Structure 1
Amino acid sequence: MKMITKTAELADACDALLQCDFIAVDTEFMRETVYWPALCLIQAAGGDTEVIIDPLADGIDLEPFWEVMADDRVMKVFHAARQDLEIFFHLGEHLIPTPMFDTQVGAMALGLGDSIAYDGLVRSFLKRSIDKGPRFTDWSRRPLSQKQLDYAIADVTHLRDLYPIMRERLEAKKRDAWLAEEMAVLTRAETYRLEPEDAWKRLKLRKTHPKWVAGLRAAACWREREAQTRDMPRQRVMKDDALYEIAAVAPLKPDDLSGLRGVPKGFERSKPAERLYEIMKTAMADPEAYAPKVEKPTPPPSGIGPTVELLKVFLKLVAEDAGVASRLIATVPDLEKIAADDKADIPAMHGWRREVFGEPALRLKKGEISLALEDGKVVAKDLKA
């Protein structure tokens, strides 16, 4: 196995991949010291075609590969696809591979846990073990050893063999509709857009006063722009705790930053600080308008604790009975909302989730279903049957 380093070689390989009904895809990348993940390797396997593409090769044009990713006749199979898709979205001019299938999501729909690791999936379906030795490789270094290349291509050859088996089991259980919502999130452009103006959503709102929220939005927007422009991790530009301090002060000049513990010494007179003052001036000119509309978090009604605990047990029971990961059905916040409101507008109360869990959960609340211990096992009993 050797890497493809020339555009002509890549075009030939992609022509072969386009003849496949599905292809397995994986990437190797580095992101520890940068904002934008550095794509170091692309692996793909379909039919008898197995390729490793070197995106760092001098002069190589990845356009033939992007064309394969965009071709809706070929299913693209990933495991834990989100980071791969994020890279493709930003390097491939907002490309999102479609149609696509994520085996980690498929595993959830088959009841194999909330986030089963790839090696566990390969062991479960294919009875094979994966050599983990090269997993900490610096994939940006060249040349790569044969052992490293073998490790890289194995990621997609196992995936190629795994997909048909998983697909067959999912179809036998009629789980296609169950997967649709999860896959839809992965193929939505909004999932991968990194708009600086929305960076505040990554932070926990400690207050809801418009001026403070406007200050936090401005500080987060400034940090995101700096991280993107300078290609640095967010935390290296400014720590989260420092952003909260900055939001409280809403600095418009160097003196406003003096004495803040989280702000590096000398930062207040730097070029990045000047850019911070500018965006903060915009925010503070009209904090009410600049601040995003946020609702004050309302604590769950008092007294619902026992109901939530009962719903947790019931969810585990339903998930085991359906053979699906509980997280795919409902989360703890969902259970709190169901406990507080029979008409809660949450995913667990719509579609297949309502049929499997939401409706029975309401019946449990009404006393139409009970939970009991039989031979050491929790069982649900329909009292209206």
Structure 2
Amino acid sequence: MSTHGLRGSAAIVGAALAGLGEAPGRSSEEIAIEASVKALAEAGLTTRHVDAVFGSLPGNSNPLSGLLIAEMLGLQPKITDNNRTGGSTFLSYTLMAAMALKEGLCETALIFYGSNQRTASGKLISSVRPFAYEAPYAPLFPATSYALAASRHMHEYGTTREQMAAVAVAARAWANLNPEAFMRGPLSIDDVLGSRMVSSPLTVRDCCLVTDGGAALVMTTAARARDMPKRPVYLLGAAAATTHMNIMAMPKLTETAALDSGRRAYAMAGMTPADIDVVELYDAFTINTILFLEDLGFCKKGEGGAFVAGGAIAPGGRLPVNTNGGGLSCVHPGMYGMFTLVEAVRQLRGEADQRQVPNAQVALCHGNGGVLSSQITNILGTQATL
């Protein structure tokens, strides 16, 4: 067992979603505020208890969103963090909040996100643009960057299009068990392969949704968490790693910084991949799931395609992955990291209804930011894991 001082020192005591799918007529801020108020209510708290705020809004909609949401909620926090590393951002907020809580700098931390991306624009909005040397080739950003990684993985390891499609099919199978998922219904390997090509080899079903949606978490110290209405979910391990910003600078297209973030998160938690009951990965594209399963130690490098084939990560498979349907079938409002955490909390509390993983005690959540640039791993656990 790890003796790291942060292990289990802070817990998530409230987790909520808002505006999933389509939320016409509502702003990103309004969606974030609804999720925040719901998460606080679940924890038996109100805005007057919050003294630290961590969060951001999509794209460049408001670069000072931490200040804005604090003002709209009537907060005057001791700590406001608006750090941005793309979709991985929110898994860094849990680590920052845990450190602040442990050092007594705050008592109640609110982490928020909200986006009206689908109803406001109908397309993915990113604050990052192709690098100057890439732009003349007119890449479809960010899809073409991930298509490069997929093509390289296929070249180096013989990964097939059918294996990548299996990731989307598994995500849809989980979504079909989740009434909150935006896209439900049948999906086959042939459906994925036959759908509209976006950036070869990725079709539209290899790519994440564009939806509205928001989420919020409330964190406090382990000591205070014991008195909250819901069963606490403890942060056992967390680590971040970054290798590049632009895809042309990625050291190796088939290896991500999850190799590093995962190793250090496991070390803090005192665990290995064999201890993980449920896995929530940032699946903006089907290749992501394959890369992260390899880099986080669930299979060997180059074996991710074979690992996901045949329903291994679908309901009833050997490893439950993206049990809400993921960014491919549940929700993806610009940045998906928060939703990995909310789903993990629900699984560890036993609140996932038809998609519940039996006796789930430990969950790994992994966030991805930029174009495979920022990788952040969180390991969460129940009281039994302390």
Higher strand share: 2
For this structure pair, what is the TM-score category when the shorter chain's length is used for normalisation?
Answer: under 0.3
Q: Which has the larger radius of gyration?
A: 1
Higher relative contact order (CA 8 A, sep 6+): 2
Higher helix share: 1
Scaled by the length of structure 1, what TM-score is found?
Answer: 0.22
Scaled by the length of structure 2, what TM-score is found?
Answer: 0.22
